[in-house]
Structure 1
């Protein structure tokens, strides 16, 4: 009887240990429905001022465990035709063959390949960005804003990030002047745990 109990206890312990080892990070869906996520950009216009805007239509997911941030993953897909610079004629031009060619390249996609915890809530997110038919590795300097329960019984986590993209790197013509070769991206992402 004692042998059976001991054997059962050992099996339970081993099973629990194995389950702990295979536990994975929580999965989150980016809260675009509630408009708690934003992909903003700015680029110099002829070297005289800043042109700012955002992408209104995107979706994505991420996994995150505060105990193992290096195991996190991110995936975001953007509808390029949703570019919005608060000026209809300019947006039409940005969607045209002169820039994003949205008829040909309707989606942009980012998939993380490595995330490094830099301490104090700071993260370095490396991943592949496919934009304008070109895939390049980019680095996003990110920061955890916070996580916790929301008033509706859910659980949320939020991050901000920034990166700079060279237009030429993605085959996009540099038509806004020599000071306008890079676009600065500002990302604000809040996810709901699934």
Structure 2
């Protein structure tokens, strides 16, 4: 039986979970060409763990995102964004999220991109819980300028809307 987020049984069992990287991704949306055109893409999740605790606010989350996996379907743009001009995925291969607090509606923590760490708040949109796993979809908006990704200010959108789709399996 699966429980949805609004169901009282929707909190995962206490314990450690690993992120199933094959079933998880970070999707993003932004605008380019002076805000005229939408652009969407994904990053792959490299690794991560979730420790569900009692109380839930003591739970810990660590997610490592592969910077070199930036993908929009436009090979030229993808290569440019992975380069030292934007994400510098060779110098900073991992973008890391570490939680500070969590509850049934959201998670706060820090996101590190290009060696710069900033606070971020994720809003949980929905979740699905089974006895040995759970899947969650959470959203946030980040400002790339705050992370030092400043190139092409007029051509590339400043804000990115992120959707994390994360599947966790009990270990």
Short-chain TM bin: 0.7 to 0.9
Does residue 60 of structure 1 match 2:48?
yes
Counterparts of 1:18-57 in structure 2 under 5 Å? 25-32=14-21, 35-46=22-33, 47-57=35-45
Structure-1 residue corresponding to 2:87? 100
Total equivalences in the alignment = 158
Q: Which has the higher helix share?
A: 1
Q: Alignment partner for residue 170 of structure 1, among 143, 147, 170? A: 147
Name structure 1 gaps, 5 residues minimum.
Answer: 1-23, 118-122, 150-154
TM-score using structure 1 length: 0.75
Name structure 2 gaps, 5 residues minimum.
Answer: 1-12
TM-score using structure 2 length: 0.84
Q: Which has the higher strand share?
A: 2
Q: If you compute each CA radius of gyration, which structure gives the higher value, 1 or 2?
A: 1
Q: 2:29 touches 2:160 (CA, 8 Å); kept in 1?
A: yes
Is the partner of 2:88 in helix, strand or coil?
Answer: coil
Question: Residues of 2 paired with 1:162 and 1:106: CA distance?
Answer: 22
Counterparts of 1:77-88 in structure 2 under 5 Å? 77-88=64-75
Q: Residue deviations 1:35-74, cap 9 Å, x none?
A: 2211111110121121111112521111225x73222211
Does residue 182 of structure 1 match 2:171?
no
Question: Residues of 1 paired with 2:165 and 2:38: CA distance?
Answer: 20
